Amino acid sequence: MGRRKKRKLNPDGPGSYKKWLVGDEVMCTRESDGKLGSGEILAIHLDCHDDIPRFTFCCDMIGSYQLAKFSSIVEQPSLKQKKKRNKARIKTMAQK
C-alpha cells in the first residue's frame, strides 16, 4: 500500500507578530493552567475578544496543543526552567 503525503499546516492568520514567527521555539506560561510550557508556535491570533494577542503552540511538556499570550513568553529561561522542560519532555516521550 502506498504512503500518504504529509500535509503541511498552513495557518490562515498572520505569519509573525513583532519579533515572533510561526515555527519559532518558545518557552512560556500556558493559558489553561498557568504552568510552564515549551514548544513551537503553530498559529498567531491577533483578533481575540479582549484584544490581547495570543498564539497556539504544541507543548512538548504535556503533549497537547495549548494557547498562550505573547506577554507570557520567557525571553531568558533560567537553568531550573530548562531542567524542568527537559525532564517533562523525557517523560512525555516515554509515554508514546
Kindly list the structural domains of the chain, giving each domain's residue range(s) and its CATH number in brackets, ordered by start: 16-95 (2.30.30.140)
Taking only the tens place, the pLDDT of each residue in 22-66 is 889 999 999 888 899 999 999 898 887 888 899 999 988 888 899
Residue 95 pLDDT grade (very low, low, confident, very high; cuts 50, 70, 90): low
Residue pair 53/18 in contact by the 8 Å Cβ criterion: no
DSSP letter for 71, please.
Answer: G
Model pLDDT, residue 40: 92
Residue 9 pLDDT grade (very low, low, confident, very high; cuts 50, 70, 90): low
Provide the mean pLDDT of the chain.
Answer: 85
CA distance 33 to 85: 16
Model pLDDT, residue 28: 93
CA distance 32 to 16: 23
